Amino acid sequence: MKGEIAGAVAAALLGTVAVAVLPARVGAQAKADGSLHEVRRALEQLRREREQDRKRIEQIEKQLEAMEKAAAETKAEQKEAVSRADRLLSEVRALRPGSDRFLVTGYGFARYRWSDRTDENTFSAALNPIFLFRPFERVLFEAELEAMLPEEGESEISLEYAQADVELADFAMVAAGKMLLPFGEFIERLHPAWINKLVSHPLPFREPEEGGLLPFTEIGAQLRGGANLGYGPGATLEYAVYVANGPRFESDEVGAPFASNNADLNRGKGYGARVGVQPLPVDSGWGRLRLGASTWDGLWDAAGDHWLTSWGIDAVYQYDIAEVRGEYLFLRRDMPEEEAADRREGWYVQGSYKLSRIGVPHLDRLELVARYSGQNQRAAEGELDPHPRQFAFGVDYWLSPAVVWKIEYDRDMPRDATDSDAIQTQIAVGF
Amino acid sequence: MPFRMRLAIAALGATAALGSWWAGSARAGDPVARAEKQEQIRRGAQLWPSVCGGCHNARGAAERSAAEWDVVVQHMRVRANLPGEDARAILEYLKRR
């Protein structure tokens, strides 16, 4: 009986527990099923959203690709347009006056000069057209005329130089004819009025009849050229060697000026050479330096017995907007009848500075120039002084790279005469 | 087909192939030629202010036509003893500027 009671109690207990626990379990199960469903729905939602994002990214990628393609096409079109514009520009330039065979260039100037020493107070002008004719790629004929106003009369035209140039190689050219004397730098490269920074020439490089020490031209043939030194752009070696009619003087007197030697007065010839070096490449950042040495020698008298020998050195250093240059030359002319040699020497040093960085309109077009020059010789012809010295100060106003208005003050201080002043102004045009 | 005709066709084909190869080579060489030209112009741009400015103010490229620069640069090459390579570089720069 006890056993039955115990079994009944146990069954009741079990039933109670089952009644108490089972609904809770069933509820929990249902809750869990609901959460799972929620999670699944969320997951599904996420998948849908991911798919939508993927499609959107694909769409954006396609748009980007189309845009890149369009940009590339635009770039190509722009490049083509620039190229076409360049071609048109070249064609337009080619249509401008001038051809690849003949060209007129040159320079001219108008000048006013007041000089205490020479008692001058006058205007003057000159025109120097340079004719360039290039019949073939390697051949050039060049000639310069000088049309000047003489003291009296209408005008005076002379042949400054006329030479044929033939290119033999990258480092060698032959030039023949009436040529500028390859002695130093001033004669060949600096004397044109639009290049010379002062109105006047340095004393030793005046025209011979004005007291200068060298003729500006010789008649002969030369081999000249330049070569790169190989360690940077612009580092070069240059040379000129020549044979010509040689020197000739106005008279046998000591101090006589040079005369033209168009038809050689003797059977001897004149010989000369110049060597120059530019050791600093243009990208060195140290500026530009040019050094040169020249010589010119020849028999000067009709009998061909007496020599003129000469040599000179020249240098220029340029750094940015500043420049210093100078030349020295020495001549010795053997005289007949055991007379002492006719020795002559001359020099100049010139400095210039551009005010282009000053940042003030008009003032930034100015260039200041100062030069000291002098020469010594045993005697000079006429009223010329054998020992002239000169300080020259100038202000240049550059209207364009080849058009300049110069104002110059000179203080002449000859060794054997009193000091004097000169003022001159010049408008020079290179064309 | 006669032998001569076949030979002629073969020769024509070989010529066409060679021409095509040559043209292809020339086209392939274009970028190199362009690069060399660009380098020459760059060198000219470096030399122009210093070399021309060594004696006078460097003149602007627009002052003259390409044909005129041909003559002027040759004139200046003589006057300044410019190496041929430098003169050509300056000329290219002035023409393309």
pLDDT in tens, chain A (431 residues): 455 665 555 555 555 655 555 566 666 677 777 888 999 999 999 999 999 999 999 999 999 999 999 999 999 999 888 888 877 776 666 555 555 689 999 999 999 999 988 888 999 999 999 999 999 999 999 999 999 988 788 889 999 999 999 999 999 999 999 999 999 999 999 999 999 999 999 999 999 888 999 999 999 999 999 999 999 999 999 999 999 999 999 999 999 999 998 989 898 999 999 999 999 999 999 999 999 999 999 999 999 999 999 999 999 999 999 999 999 999 999 999 888 999 999 999 999 999 999 999 999 999 999 999 999 998 888 778 899 999 999 999 999 999 999 999 999 999 888 889 999 999 999 99
Chain A residue with Cα closest to B81: A225
A294 CB-contact burial (10 Å; exposed 0-12 / middle 13-18 / buried 19+): buried
Q: Which long-range contacts (CB under 8 A, 24 or more apart) does B44-47 make?
A: B44/B89, B44/B90, B44/B91, B44/B92, B44/B93, B44/B94, B45/B93, B45/B97, B46/A233, B46/A234, B46/A282, B46/A283, B47/A233, B47/A234, B47/A282, B47/B86, B47/B89, B47/B90, B47/B93
Can you tell me whether residue A338 is helix, strand or coil? coil
B-chain residues near A402 (CB < 8 A) = 56-57, 59, 63
Instruction: State the nearest Cα–Cα gap between B21 and chain A, in angstroms.
Output: 27
Q: What is the pLDDT of residue B24?
A: 46
- CB pair distance less than 8 Å for A98 and B65: yes
> What's this model's pTM, rounded to 2 decimal places?
0.76
Determine the Cα–Cα distance for residues A365 and A350; give it in Å rounded to an integer: 19
Question: To 10 degrees, the CA torsion angle through A181, A184, A187, A193?
Answer: 160
Q: What share of chain B is helix, strand, coil (3-state, %, to 5)?
A: 85, 0, 15
Pick the residue of B50, B90, B94 with the most A CBs within 10 A to test the interface with A by mutation. B50
Q: What are A344's two structure tokens?
A: 């002559």
Residue B28: burial class (beta carbons within 10 Å; 0-12, 13-18, 19+): exposed
Q: Using the 8-state DSSP alphabet, how is residue A418 labeled?
A: -
Alpha-carbon gap, residue A206 to A385, rounded angstroms:
13
Report the b/e string of A186-214 with b at 16+ CB within 10 A: bbbbbbbbbbbbbbbbbbbbbebeebbbb
Cβ atoms of A161 and B94 closer than 8 Å: no
CA-based nearest distance A389→chain B, Å: 25
Mean pLDDT of B68-75: 95
Q: Which of B50, B75, B81, B90 is the best mutation test for A, with the most CBs of A within 10 A?
A: B81
- CA B41, CA B88: separation in Å to the nearest integer? 9
Determine the residue of chain A that is closest to B70 in CA distance.
A100
Q: What are the chain B neighbours of A285 within 8 Å (beta carbons)?
A: none
> Between chains, do B66 and A142 touch, taking CB under 8 Å as contact?
no
ipTM value: 0.76
| Mutation site for A-interface testing, chosen from B41, B78, B88, B94 by largest number of A Cβ within 10 Å | B78
Nearest to B81 among A101, A130, A224 (CB): A224
Best A92, A96, A103 residue to mutate vs chain B (most B CBs within 10 Å): A103
In A245-365, at which residue ranges do the beta strands (DSSP E only) sit? Answer: 270-278, 288-299, 307-319, 322-333, 342-354
Provide CB contacts within 8 A for A270, sequence distance 6+. A218, A220, A243, A244, A245, A246, A247, A261, A296, A297, A298, A299
Which residues in chain B have their CB less than 8 angstroms from residue A316's CB? 54
- Note whether B77 and A101 are within 8 A (CB): no
Say if the Cβ atoms of A401 and B60 lie within 8 Å. yes
Q: Is A135 left (phi over 0), alpha (psi -120 to 50) or beta?
A: alpha
Chain A partners of B67 at a C-beta cutoff of 8 Å? Answer: 93-94, 96, 98-100
As a residue count, chain A comes to 431
Cα distance between residue A348 and residue A388, in whole Å = 12
Question: Higher-confidence residue: B31 or A9?
Answer: B31
Nearest-neighbour CA in chain B from A310: distance (Å): 22
pLDDT confidence of residue A114 = 96
Which SS3 state, helix, strand or coil, does residue A56 take? Answer: helix
* Residues recorded for chain B: 97
**Residues contacting residue A357 through CB under 8 Å, at least 6 positions apart:** A321, A364
Q: Residue B88 has which token pair?
A: 């050509």
- Dihedral angle of Cα A72, A74, A80, A82, to the nearest 10 degrees: -120
**Integer-rounded Cα radius of gyration of chain A:** 45
**Alpha carbon of A77: minimum distance to chain B alpha carbons (Å):** 19
> Averaged over B72-86, what is the pLDDT?
97
Tell me, yes or no, if B46 comes closer than 8 A to chain A by beta carbon: yes
Do the Cβ atoms of B57 and A96 come within 8 Å?
A: no
- Decide if A189 and B68 are in contact by the 8 Å CB cutoff: no
SS3 A187: helix
B6 versus A122: which is more confidently predicted? Answer: A122
